[in-house]
Amino acid sequence: MSLQSCKKGPYHESNDSHDRQLKALHSMLEIPRIYDATDSNQIRDIDIIKTVNFNLRKPNLVVIHHTAQDSCKQTYKTFTDEKYQVSSHYVICKDGTITQMLSDYLRGWHAGRGSWGNITDVNSSSVGIELDNNGNEEFAEAQITSLLSLLGQLKADYKIEASNFIGHADMAPDRKVDPSQYFPWQRLAEHGYGIWYNIEDLEDVPDYFNTKLGLHTLGYSTADLSSAIRAWEIHYSDEETDQQMSEVELRKLYSLYKLKLGK
């Protein structure tokens, strides 16, 4: 048991509120569903025969963030205050402490508007992980070590494919830039969380290939192409994030495109 579960702890009110909300959600899982008698458009004639073969839906995407705040304490405060309407499943502090704030099976409010491939409601499909980092600093080693072990657990529990470990900027390129360019994506990919190109083996790009095709295939929304390029550069490039694909960047993108397609 952690300090946070102590009745007299600083979070006892939000802990109690969390538990009350869980109870309310439980009634939504019952069938027959409780109908709103005032809504004349509702279907009423549904027969009920209960199957015995089911379990909970599970996440198939992990979205990594930096908090852009100055301490874990500040983040806990934000995520336990209803007025902010934001949360994530996990928060990882600089010293490597992992705090879980929501069950992986429940929908956190960390992703907001955006998409990844065909997934258009990212909160419904993902686990959100916030790293305590102000956005202008290196990520602490203990923090990354903890992150790697948490990702290992999530990957094993939910069979999440490597290319579905992404950053907030990847799924919301027109709005977000986290996690920052300091984030060690290559190291994560070496452990199977995310994909990476082989810098020693970048091929010439064929005529049919272009930036939009590459980004779209990876999962990026290309509705705003220059924002998508910036998000890709934050994630994959060591060059300036100038929203222009250089020759080398295009080769890297082509290499990722082939990896994604399993070519």
Q: Which of the following is catalytic: 30, 130, 137, 141? A: 130
Shortest Å distance, C-beta 176 to Zn ion = 6
# chain residues binding Zn ion, by CB under 5 A: 3
The interface region with Zn ion, picked from 62-70, 71-79, 139-147, 254-262 by CB under 5 A, is: 62-70
CA distances from 237 to 20, 29, 52, 148 (A): 45, 45, 49, 21
Shortest Å distance, C-beta 166 to Zn ion = 11
C-alpha span between 230 and 243 (Å, rounded): 5
Site string for Zn ion, 140-169 (x = CB under 5 A): ----------------------------x-
Shortest Å distance, C-beta 86 to Zn ion = 9
Task: Give, to the nearest 10 degrees, the angle between helix 225-236 and helix 247-261.
Answer: 80
Q: Give whichever of 170 and 178 is closer to Zn ion, judged by the CB atom.
A: 178
The interface region with Zn ion, picked from 17-25, 64-72, 91-99, 212-220 by CB under 5 A, is: 64-72
Q: Is residue 250 within 8 Å of 193, Cβ to Cβ?
A: no
44: DSSP letter: -
Shortest Å distance, C-beta 122 to Zn ion = 11
Q: Is residue 184 within 8 Å of 193, Cβ to Cβ?
A: no
Q: Give whichever of 139 and 257 is closer to Zn ion, judged by the CB atom.
A: 139
Among positions 11, 61, 64, 65, the unique one binding Zn ion when judged by CB under 5 A: 65
> Is 170 a binder of Zn ion (CB under 5 A)?
no
Q: Give whichever of 111 and 189 is closer to Zn ion, judged by the CB atom.
A: 111
Task: Give, to the nearest 10 degrees, the angle between helix 211-218 and helix 225-236.
Answer: 70
Among positions 178, 234, 236, 254, the unique one binding Zn ion when judged by CB under 5 A: 178
The interface region with Zn ion, picked from 42-50, 87-95, 176-184, 243-251 by CB under 5 A, is: 176-184
Shortest Å distance, C-beta 179 to Zn ion = 8
Task: Give the closest residue to 92 by CA, choosing from 112, 110, 76, 113.
Answer: 76
- Up-side HSE of residue 55: CA atoms within 13 Å toward CB? 4
State which amino acid sits at residue 19.
D
Strands 90-92 and 98-100: antiparallel
C-alpha span between 127 and 110 (Å, rounded): 9
Shortest Å distance, C-beta 178 to Zn ion = 4
The residues in 74-133 that bind Zn ion, with binding defined as CB under 5 A, are none
Could you tell me the end-to-end alpha-carbon distance of the chain, in angstroms, rounded to an integer?
48
Q: Is 233 assigned a catalytic role?
A: no
C-alpha span between 249 and 255 (Å, rounded): 10
Q: Give whichever of 177 and 253 is closer to Zn ion, judged by the CB atom.
A: 177
Binding site for Zn ion (CB under 5 A): 65, 168, 178
Catalytic amino acids? 130
